[in-house]
Structure 1
């Protein structure tokens, strides 16, 4: 793996293959090619809400209730998870305006602690956080789309995997083609998914006002007191809030990020927390504990019980939610790998930009391929715990970096400066959650930790080692140039010839 500057001749050789910049594109005065700043405030809100509200709210209630033990405790977990995510998002608002670079945690951890911790985050995001989350969302979409065709049994695994692969590839193509198309899809599906969840809530109100209040009685009965179980409940709940930091991945494409980044966070997080709380109240009002615990497609079970002949509408709504979430995740996370490759922590080919559409096509395609390899997995509970635990550990590093940089870089401009209590509360809470969850699920959390540790020798061999054999350097250069010619892409800031 080499840095952009280490590969001699790529821009010119790429140009010799027919590459050219687009007149009127987002270029500097010297003709360099860069990603466009096309995201406004509402686009930012749509990305955050759109990414967060996806498969989690239709999958996690089952697991949160399982670990919490009672509906009352489950609701408390959902609200507190939203508040904790809000605190984290506000901390990230300071980080994102202090370090206005795309890449999110990768940029912040690197700025605070150096290259190795930043690479470990990139390594974990590349093979655990992003593709696993995308795979869960795509599989949820496929399962809900196919459920009406197999109402009495579980849809075939092969069919679910195939549909999940198709939607992943389709959204990747849209992301490769045009950023404006991505934002239009995101805006439309974000509005649709909020409407869908509000319909769920109002349908449950009608059910309650009809005299069916039995499912909301004795809400705290069966509440667990084990710290490990409560921590696991929080992690499955926090999985549904995953994505609150995704706008930080695309800061360089956000118009006026100093204003729009914190504003988007302040608007979107309360909306998501309220919608999630209302959705869970709706589920718990209509369904018994046993129905919630045994249902693999909770929204379908809910709709069949309350919506009657129009129950088919709920799988459609869930599909819309998951498509919007997957679309936003593909868009935002591809920029993470783009920035990592631009900094020399991934192959240069992943940092190339399409000269016509000004989108990171190789990064998008690479991420699509990794996601497709994970679509065969079916143990969603284990995947959620691993993803949430690993994400919590890196979020801890980012927020710790915020405190560290306040000490080491006091002179650095901070357009947003959160109260010191917020990052401290976030650090303490997440630390206890990780510790308790590890003791409750040592194998699952240990797998995530072990995989992150594997990134250390990878870094030392492929990044730190400067005297690589010539044949390896030549192979890397050939791969990068082949990708440049194949996708008509060049490195960022390449000049017109």
Structure 2
């Protein structure tokens, strides 16, 4: 693409600013949200077995990796940004692609942004209210501020957006490494009672399916790099490489984190309270248990950034095909950011955050 921002016909040409490291950060940053701190209870609830839960987490990672590799093939064959939308458009034509785009515009992306931002707000406020639920209005306000600040950064600079993504992805990985090391140390000093009768549990088809649903849900986001293929440096090499690096890494971290949780949190506690990371922190970190809410806040902040970045590119691609007003396909000549698309799509999420009590009350319990 070179360093020119405009082609000979006056059309803005996007610079390929997203490196392999940035690509790995986008995938990991959008997969790891609040799910790994909450979802382990959902997997265990339907199996009742420590060993089966760990196997399901591993299998969920393998299935997600297979799906991501299929997307790597699609992304190197159809090198447009837009992910699902671009592939559906090429394979099935404009009508299915149009429906997919507007479902994402009106439902999927705004609610995803709102839910993750609400989770961020909840965990930022939580250390100040250790004995009770945080004030609802404070959580909503922080969530809206999070969305607005990240939208502004996304409008200003691609590089700054990627730096934020890299920093918070690294932070959440370090946080999970702390949890894993703490759990392994707890095992090494002889606390293995929670692993007795590890295979005892329920193995009906329905329960296994529901357990897989919880596990796969925590891996959601593995396809997000495909939404920005046009801005990825050397996508033919870096897209598959980013997937091969990110998905196995997330799978290993998820399995090891669950192993740490099971070492510390009893089976009854895990079934009674989905906030397994909070129980883990209270038991191992004592007065330092406030670090767990900080870990979750860092994780979700990076997740919001990844969703915003990829969403704007999806809608800009749709506008280029005439499925949205052409105004939303415009990119700033110097900043190389889809400012109209960001300004139009992002305010929906703060509106949901501020006025929808259902999203506020239920959104905090999902990834």
Same fold (TM over 0.5): yes
State how far apart, in whole Å, the 1-side matches of 2:343 and 2:276 are. Answer: 32
- The correspondence for 1:207, drawn from 186, 189, 194, is 186
Residue 233 of structure 1 and its aligned partner are, at CA, apart by: 2.1
| Cα distance per residue 1:172-228 (max 9 Å; x no partner) | 111111000011111111111111101101101121222221222222333241x33
State how far apart, in whole Å, the 2-side matches of 1:224 and 1:317 are. Answer: 33
Residue 382 of structure 1 and its aligned partner are, at CA, apart by: 8.9
State how far apart, in whole Å, the 2-side matches of 1:311 and 1:323 are. Answer: 20
Question: Which residue number corresponds to residue 197 of structure 1?
Answer: 176
Change (3 A) 1:335 1:341: same
State how far apart, in whole Å, the 2-side matches of 1:232 and 1:350 are. Answer: 39
The alignment status of 1:291 with 2:269, answered yes or no, reads yes
- The correspondence for 1:112, drawn from 67, 91, 96, is 91
The alignment status of 1:146 with 2:129, answered yes or no, reads no
Question: Which residue number corresponds to residue 158 of structure 1?
Answer: 137
Question: Which residue number corresponds to residue 341 of structure 2?
Answer: 363
Match runs of 1:339-378 below 5 Å: 339-375=317-353, 376=356, 377=359, 378=361
Question: Which residue number corresponds to residue 201 of structure 2?
Answer: 222
Question: Which residue number corresponds to residue 326 of structure 1?
Answer: 304
Alpha-carbon contact 1:176-1:360 (below 8 Å) kept: yes
Does 341-350 or 26-35 show the bigger shift?
A: 26-35
Alpha-carbon contact 2:48-2:202 (below 8 Å) kept: yes
State how far apart, in whole Å, the 2-side matches of 1:111 and 1:82 are. Answer: 28
Residue 318 of structure 1 and its aligned partner are, at CA, apart by: 1.6
In the alignment, structure 1 segments of 5+ residues that lack a partner are 1-23, 385-497
Match runs of 1:3-82 below 5 Å: 26-82=5-61
Residue 230 of structure 1 and its aligned partner are, at CA, apart by: 2.4
The alignment status of 1:92 with 2:71, answered yes or no, reads yes
State how far apart, in whole Å, the 2-side matches of 1:107 and 1:327 are. Answer: 22
SS at match of 1:37: coil
State how far apart, in whole Å, the 2-side matches of 1:351 and 1:91 are. Answer: 27
Question: Which residue number corresponds to residue 100 of structure 2?
Answer: 121
Alpha-carbon contact 1:353-1:360 (below 8 Å) kept: yes
Residue 357 of structure 1 and its aligned partner are, at CA, apart by: 1.6
| Cα distance per residue 1:65-87 (max 9 Å; x no partner) | 22333332222221111101100
State how far apart, in whole Å, the 2-side matches of 1:64 and 1:131 are. Answer: 27
Alpha-carbon contact 2:5-2:334 (below 8 Å) kept: no
Q: CA RMSD in A?
A: 1.9
State how far apart, in whole Å, the 2-side matches of 1:370 and 1:74 are. Answer: 37
Higher relative contact order (CA 8 A, sep 6+): 2
State how far apart, in whole Å, the 1-side matches of 2:352 and 2:240 are. Answer: 34
Alpha-carbon contact 2:40-2:274 (below 8 Å) kept: no
- The correspondence for 2:362, drawn from 359, 373, 379, is 379
Does 243-252 or 350-359 show the bigger shift?
A: 350-359
In the alignment, structure 2 segments of 5+ residues that lack a partner are none
Question: Which residue number corresponds to residue 256 of structure 2?
Answer: 278
- The correspondence for 2:157, drawn from 178, 181, 188, is 178
Residue 305 of structure 1 and its aligned partner are, at CA, apart by: 0.8
Change (3 A) 1:281 1:141: same
Structure with higher Rg: it is 1
| Cα distance per residue 1:51-103 (max 9 Å; x no partner) | 11112212322222223333322222211111011001111111001000000
- Give the TM-score of the pair, scaled to structure 1: 0.69
State how far apart, in whole Å, the 2-side matches of 1:349 and 1:68 are. Answer: 50
Residue 265 of structure 1 and its aligned partner are, at CA, apart by: 0.7
Change (3 A) 1:71 1:159: farther
SS at match of 2:331: strand
State how far apart, in whole Å, the 2-side matches of 1:319 and 1:353 are. Answer: 31
State how far apart, in whole Å, the 2-side matches of 1:369 and 1:344 are. Answer: 22
State how far apart, in whole Å, the 1-side matches of 2:47 and 2:114 are. Answer: 26
Residue 380 of structure 1 and its aligned partner are, at CA, apart by: 4.1
State how far apart, in whole Å, the 1-side matches of 2:366 and 2:96 are. Answer: 23
Question: Which residue number corresponds to residue 301 of structure 1?
Answer: 279
SS at match of 1:353: coil
SS at match of 2:315: helix
What is the aligned residue count?
360
The alignment status of 1:266 with 2:249, answered yes or no, reads no
| Cα distance per residue 1:219-268 (max 9 Å; x no partner) | 2333241x333222222221211111111000000111111111111111
Change (3 A) 1:197 1:258: same
